Structure 1
């Protein structure tokens, strides 16, 4: 029977460490800029309601008075100021808030018109989703830069999980005591200070990075879209009410505006025009019906734009139990479909909960402040990684960690990475690209440099 000598074990352990370190370096090189951008924009968006109310206070804040004007009156004054077609009415979420009317203007713009609900005075207008915090949200998702750029968010999310996994392996004590594991040694002038700061912050926020990556994935273009398709096709995401026998249109709820992940592919039902001409219920009666059914204030009402259209009332508040979508027949006022968080399938409920925590909504101010601290820690961790790398790298070199002596050590590591690549296809494609770059470009340079040093 053969035994492995301690020296051979140490060599194998060093080779594995080098291989993991190499891929940790590559993961960081690829996604640290994205992590910084996502953390800064995410930290701001945690306080989207508060910041928008402050920045756009001239449009969003009003003095409380005794009685409000009927919703139809508010829509009419908005159309007088900005002629076109009203497509949505959003009720004031608080007594100090303005009402919002979304108008497809004759000029071709889609506008959010803000109206004082007490005096019916038009306070002003912005492009629909034109607030500062919508800008931050679009920067967070790279939506400003088109669908191709948005795919990098999905890649960054997958690689961040790899970054955390390899980082935990590199941090693991291995009998070294607690120095540099939960405490920071040295002073800012030394590399060890930045190495310890990076490692300590990483081990404390690593789990939250994985959580934020996974809960952000449902909104991604490729993976999120496919999972949504699968979940709703197998009744894991859609509310059961989506499958009741009511006439439905070819329009999706997501076409009408922001909705929950579980309802993105929910089709909008249709009103049934009566055999003889009959008056429509109108916005005032629709709003009264929604409030009687228990929609929380701040709800939006999508207005019917055709004879078969419906009034759709929806609310996606911080309290998931109040999340709800109701469709009313525009002639009879009867509910055609009434869906709430409790009706979602198991995967839908789990993902909606994760998304709500991700947005800093589920647990109120505590949720916001905690994730703010996480975002700031991630930014500091990334800065520490950059400083540490700069201090370590040899002059004139990228400072890629050394190759393991036994290249076979990569086999198990790559097999593990490949499993993740199958689950997240874009991550898998980027992994293949990185492997080719490493094998065809980086490795030959390092081997030539090593050969010169040994001559």
Structure 2
């Protein structure tokens, strides 16, 4: 009887050691795989947080103008933009955000879009730049790796999922276990591995919630998870209020097809059609009337207006400002000048509101400077965690080996972790599949191939 009793603590201790080693091993492999991607996300994300400041400082010559008496009408400015790019067609017009801001007209020629910046008071062209070469657009596309194709964009989705895994496993490894150092303090000096271990653990633990938040709120932009969630919410009336489109004819186009900037929740919302029967007896009201209609509705300054591309198209005015409460999209019949669909943030269902709020906070916009610098601090913490993780690994790595944390003495502990991986795969399929592949390689390849087992020891 006494032997059984004495064996229980030993068995519990072995289980505890096995769980710790298994999670440590997961944490190591996940970090090793995503460090380059995490650094890219943190660096480009930091730049994008300050996109307005960058525009004002480095590109102020095309964004900032001397305020004049009376701006020219939109149609005159659009004609000036088209003349600046011969053979082009105007596709959208961006109204002044404030009296000292330029007007931006997007024109298209040979399926290539160009941004034309104009002084709204005299119609002078300030600059032209390819829509896909604009600085902040490039930063955003590199941030998501969409700049390099759909496959690399999927890798970012996997990275975001792994970031959540790293936070969860990292907090488990950090959790105090009778030690006094390395919980809120950093021991040793930079010459010692424990210094880097503590710096990695303490900063990661305290910034973990924010890192997890950034990873989760970045998911809506992902190519697989984000697209499927958006589609599911839209088809169930949980993303945007589909009933607003019940009584209007709908085209095959969606909001993201025509507008230069559109909110995630409504990017797949259908674009209405103008009353084509009216084309026989009425002329289009024109951009000036459409802009006046949008302004009369109370839309915030700085809105975009997508121009009709054919006889059945509509004028679509939209704005997605820093504060999500100001989000608005209005589709206007090009013959009557009347709004067909008028949608604001207050009309979104709860899921749409929550996701848009998360995206705005993710981009450092919702709560002003505090939000902006808090997200910057989180990005810097991610970079620090990557650097300290690499230094810590390098200092403990045996010569000629990778230095992977040891396998758990009780392989049965993986049963619970497999269950967790399957649950995660259901929530975030691409990341879950990557985790399952990682565990399979660890258990079925590294474990039983002697050269790999030695290299990864």
Structure 1 and Structure 2 fold alike (TM over 0.5): yes
Q: Which residue of 2 aligns with 1:159?
A: 162
Q: Distance in 2 between matches of 1:25 and 1:449?
A: 16
Q: 1:252 aligns with which of 220, 237, 254?
A: 254
The structural deviation recorded for 1:8 is 2.4
Does the 8 Å CA contact 2:261/2:320 hold for their aligned counterparts?
Answer: no
8 A contact 1:241–1:343 mirrored in 2 = no
Deviation of the 1:440 alpha carbon: 3.3
2:324 is matched with which residue: 320, 331, 338?
A: 320
C-alpha separation between the residues in 2 aligned to 1:59 and 1:121?
Answer: 11
- Consecutive unaligned residues of structure 2, counting only runs of 5 or more, are none
Q: Secondary structure at the match of 1:100?
A: strand
CA gap of 1:372–1:310, structure 2 versus 1, over 3 A, is: same
Are the equivalent residues in 2 in contact too, given 1:241–1:339 (CA < 8 A)? no
Question: Among 195, 209, 226, which residue is 1:193 paired with?
Answer: 195
Structure 1 residues 176, 314: CA separation in 2 closer, same or farther (over 3 Å shift)? Answer: same
Partner of 1:384: 388
Trace 1:132-281 onto structure 2 (pairs within 5 A): 132-177=135-180, 179-256=181-258, 257-273=260-276, 274=278, 276-281=280-285
SS in 2 for 1:408: helix
Deviations 1:278-323 (A, max 9, x none): 1211111111111000111110000012111111000000111110
User: In angstroms, what is the RMSD of aligned CA positions?
Assistant: 1.7
What secondary structure does 2:98 align onto? coil
Give secondary structure in 2 for the equivalent of 1:214.
Answer: helix
Given that 1:201 and 1:378 are in contact with CA atoms closer than 8 Å, whether structure 2 keeps it comes out as no
- Which deviates further from its counterpart, 276-285 or 401-410? 276-285
1:144-163 deviations in Å (ceiling 9; x for gaps): 11001100011011111111
Separation in structure 2 between the aligned mates of residue 354 and residue 234 of structure 1, nearest angstrom: 21
Q: 1:54-65 residue pairs with structure 2 within 5 A?
A: 54-65=57-68
Residue 19 of structure 1 deviates from its aligned partner by 0.8
CA distance in 2, matches of 1:448, 1:135: 40
Q: 2:409 aligns with which of 405, 418, 432?
A: 405
Distance 1:192 1:414 in 2: 31
Does residue 107 of structure 2 align to residue 103 of structure 1? yes
Shift of 1:7: 2.5
Distance 1:310 1:448, change over 3 A: closer
Q: Which moved more, 1:145-154 or 1:239-248?
A: 239-248
TM-score (norm 2): 0.95
Please say if 1:343 is aligned against 2:347.
Answer: yes
1:7-51 Cα offsets, whole Å, 9 max, x none, are 222222111111111111111111121111101110110011221
CA distance in 1, matches of 2:19, 2:263: 43
Instruction: Give me the whole-angstrom Cα distance separating, in 2, the residues matched to 1:383 and 1:47.
Output: 23
Q: C-alpha distance in 1, partners of 2:243/2:318? A: 15
Q: Does 1:298 align with 2:341?
A: no
Q: Once the two structures are superposed, what CA deviation does each residue of 1:208-241 show, in whole Å capped at 9, x if it has no partner?
A: 1111111111111111111111111111101244
Distance 1:194 1:403, change over 3 A: same
Identify if the C-alpha distance between structure 1 residues 243 and 330 changes in structure 2 by more than 3 Å, giving closer, same or farther: closer
Residue 366 of structure 2 corresponds to: 362
Q: CA deviation at 1:445?
A: 5.2
CA distance in 2, matches of 1:201, 1:12: 28
Q: Distance in 1 between matches of 2:231 and 2:189?
A: 52
Does the CA contact (< 8 Å) of 2:447 and 2:453 recur in 1?
A: no
User: 1: CA distance between counterparts of 2:248 and 2:214?
Assistant: 38
SS of residue in 2 equivalent to 1:36: helix
State how far apart, in whole Å, the 1-side matches of 2:445 and 2:401 are: 13
Q: Deviations over 1:307-348 (max 9, x none)?
A: 111110000001111100001111111110000111111111
- 1:218–1:225 contact (8 Å) kept in structure 2: yes
Q: 1:41 matched to which residue of 2?
A: 44
* Structure 1 unaligned blocks of 5 or more: none
Once residues 150 and 350 of structure 2 are traced to their aligned partners in structure 1, the CA distance between those partners, rounded to angstroms, is: 29
Aligned partner of 2:70 in structure 1 is 67
Give SS of 1:73's match.
helix
Aligned to 1:418: 422
State how far apart, in whole Å, the 2-side matches of 1:448 and 1:100 are: 57
How far residue 67 of structure 1 moved from its aligned partner, in angstroms, is: 1.3
Contact 2:446/2:453 (8 A) holds in 1: no
- SS of 1:444's equivalent? coil
1:114-150 residue CA offsets vs partner (Å, 9 max, x unmatched): 1100111111200014221111101101011100110
Alpha carbons of structure 1 residues 405 and 336: separation in structure 2 relative to 1, 3 Å = same
TM-superposed CA distance for 1:94, in Å, is 1.9
1:104, distance to aligned residue in structure 2 (A): 0.8
Tell which deviates more after alignment, 275-284 or 37-46.
275-284
- SS of structure 1 residue aligned to 2:398: coil
